[in-house]
Structure 1
Amino acid sequence: MHWLLIGIVALMIFIERKLSKILWATGIFLLSGILGVIVLDTNVGAGDGALMPLLGGLFGMSVLLVSMNTKSDFPKQEISEEPLEIRANSRPICTGATAGFITGIIPGVGPAQGTVLTQLATRSGGTRDFLVGVSGVNTAKALLSFAALYIIGRPRSGAAVAVDQILDVGASELIFLIGIALFA
């Protein structure tokens, strides 16, 4: 598994086109690994108890720093009545669903990485292809988390944890959940 994860990380780093961006991505990857080792494998942090404030601070800090230095307005929203053509978007739909199942199975690979893999596979950079691909990744990952809840009895997402607390998932409940998701 570790070779597969190293391969995905290397792919994510080397899709950058400029050497400076490759070096930044490599540095950030190494710094995050060092931070993980310090927090989880030493007595500096309190082990697992340090993860919530650490991750909250890291994610919150980046948003705060960016928002302090920029003034942004919401763009004008346009609602299109044009339906999504399934045949024209079959490639991003299929690759997004495949990447979603991959991210649901491989630990440490999330929807962001799945979306990058989808973009690489479809060789697309358009907004519509991105949105279709990321939707496929998230939908497939959610469906797989419900299947994992039924098959192995362990939830793999927040939604599956909530469903697990509400009801006992059997075959009929799994079919019902997947059916509603596909219908929606």
Structure 2
Amino acid sequence: MRRLIRFVAVPALLLAALLAVPAVAGATPGAAGARAAAPQEICPGAVAYPMSPGATIMSSTTTPYVGQTIKVAGANYCPNEDVDITIGGKHVATAHTDGNGAFDIQVVVPAPTGQRVLAGVGASGLNADRDSLVLTIRAGAGVDPIAVGPAGGSGSGGGGASGTGGLAFTGTQIALLIALAAALLGGGIGLMYVGRRRSLRR
């Protein structure tokens, strides 16, 4: 009888031990993982529902010209804070977010050309309160067309004139006008000479 009890008890104890080991092993990493988890970032300020930043910055174009004015917008920044806007490490503007953590401003693209990082960093200093994207800045006519007027020159009307609204004359036309004036002048002098000779004969 004792042999039978031993024969049944020993495998039962071994089975219980095998079942207990995974349970203990499974509980340990969970506790350690909970302790290692990073704390959630919360935007500063006493609000009823603290906002966690997840900043996103956007641009109206990713291939602007040097000197071009582009639109830069942001979303999910901390609310009611200043955001430092830089292009290629150069400060170009300071945006201020609204109550939802959004902003919308215009900035002028600085030199030099090439791939430059457009970044927006919130004043909170939180890791999630910043974002960036890459712009490919090009050289060229990145000038506001309103500032320079219509194509063909600054207010010249594109017709090659001086901008005064008068007619434009070529060199050949001017030469013909001079020749015509000389002929008229010569004819007038000739008529005067003939008239004087007739009066002397009388």
TM-score (norm 2): 0.14
The structure with the larger Rg is: 2
> Higher strand fraction: Structure 1 or Structure 2?
2
> Higher helix fraction: Structure 1 or Structure 2?
1
TM-score (norm 1): 0.15
